[in-house]
Amino acid sequence: MEMVLTTALIFQKKSQPDLLKGSILASCFFEPSTRTRLSFESAMHRLGGSVIGFSDASTTSIKKGESLFDSMKVIGSYADILVIRHPQEGSAEIAARAASPPVLNAGDGAHQHPTQTLIDLFTIQESQGTIENLHIALAGDLKYGRTIHSLSLALSQYPVRLYFVSSENLSLPLEIIHELREKGIEFSIHEKLEEVISQVDILYMTRPQKERFAHSCNNFSENCLLKKSHLAKAKKNLRILHPLPRLKEIEESIDETPFANYFQQAANAIPVRMALLALFLKEKVPH
């Protein structure tokens, strides 16, 4: 993780337009995406590489019944690195078994979104100067939010204090709670944002992942909607993150406050994904 964050800093200062000249990225998106797909593709172009791929699986031979394994095996013979987003948990692992080149998980169902986590860590470090000893709240859809799962596990590598805020029906999966306990991370569970806002340095908001809800009765709690009035008691250094897209969980008037850091977070996808591509495809990234 540290190597990606350090390399991303290099690319944030200066692009290297010929570094990946001749390399091909296969961008395989079986689920909708704005940030992840376009930032990966932009990062590859900015490093001089080329991109093949699809953003609509119904235009591929999956539509004719080809398996994910076979598709990824073949695409692996056309590219030097693959990025896959898929609605099925464990799909990236299947792709990694099938394809010879490296496969990057760009989100597999409600499971994980590890490259988003690297962007989140980079943004936390950029805004606070460190990740260590921060008080960090993760709020919203903790059950289906794959960015929450990946970020919680990554943060468990650091000495941090965590606060989880959600309604009971969208609470953090037990396996992640067990992992945090095993790592000795101090955390608490809440139902209202107001209970934690004055205590935290980072507030990580997420939307309800309605596309993964088994029942439409899984309503998002009013207690997890952030209003500008909530910020009256916030610490000065509080920064609000959100992997986006945003629905109603952050009031738009917050965008203009110094607390809002989510659009900067989205922009940080470029240097972080440049770092990932370069580290996988080059033995050495020049400073």
Residues labelled catalytic: 35-36, 64, 85, 113
Q: Is 116 in the site for ligand CP (CB under 6 A)?
A: yes
Nearest to 42 by CA among 272, 243, 283: 272
Which residue number, 7 or 206, has a Cβ lying nearer to ligand CP?
206
Residue 210 backbone dihedrals phi, psi, to 5 degrees: -55, -30
Dihedral, 206, 207, 213, 216 alpha carbons, nearest 10 = 140
Exactly one of 101, 114, 145, 243 binds ligand CP (CB under 6 A); that residue is: 243
The interface mask with ligand CP, positions 14-53, x = CB under 6 A, is -------------------xxxx-----------------
Which residue number, 231 or 272, has a Cβ lying nearer to ligand CP?
272
Q: Is 117 in the site for ligand CP (CB under 6 A)?
A: no
Sheet strands (E) in the chain: 24-29, 50-54, 81-86, 103-108, 135-139, 161-165, 186-190, 202-205, 239-241
Q: Is 244 in the site for ligand CP (CB under 6 A)?
A: yes
Answer yes or no: are the C-beta atoms of 34 and 245 closer than 8 Å.
yes
Contacts with ligand CP by CB under 6 A: the residue count is: 9
Residue 250, classed as helix, strand or coil, is: strand
Q: Is 207 in the site for ligand CP (CB under 6 A)?
A: no
CA atoms 120, 124, 126, 130: torsion sign: negative
Which residue number, 19 or 36, has a Cβ lying nearer to ligand CP?
36
Q: Closest distance between ligand CP and the C-beta of residue 32, in Å?
A: 7
Q: How many CB atoms lie within 10 A of CB 252?
A: 10
Which residue's structure tokens are 């029906």? 169
Contact region with ligand CP (CB under 6 A), list: 130-138, 193-201, 218-226, 237-245: 237-245
Q: Is 123 in the site for ligand CP (CB under 6 A)?
A: no
Which residue number, 57 or 185, has a Cβ lying nearer to ligand CP?
57
Q: Closest distance between ligand CP and the C-beta of residue 120, in Å?
A: 9
Which residue number, 41 or 285, has a Cβ lying nearer to ligand CP?
41
Give me the amino acid identity at 217: C
Q: Closest distance between ligand CP and the C-beta of residue 246, in Å?
A: 10
List all residues 6 or more positions away from 49 whose beta carbon is below 8 Å from its beta carbon: 20, 21, 22, 23, 24, 25, 277, 281
Q: Return the structure tokens found at 118.
A: 């690297």
Q: Closest distance between ligand CP and the C-beta of residue 90, in Å?
A: 18
Q: Return the structure tokens found at 225.
A: 């909607």
Which residue number, 41 or 201, has a Cβ lying nearer to ligand CP?
41
Q: Closest distance between ligand CP and the C-beta of residue 1, in Å?
A: 18
Q: Which residues contribute to the site for ligand CP (CB under 6 A)?
A: 33-36, 107, 116, 243-245
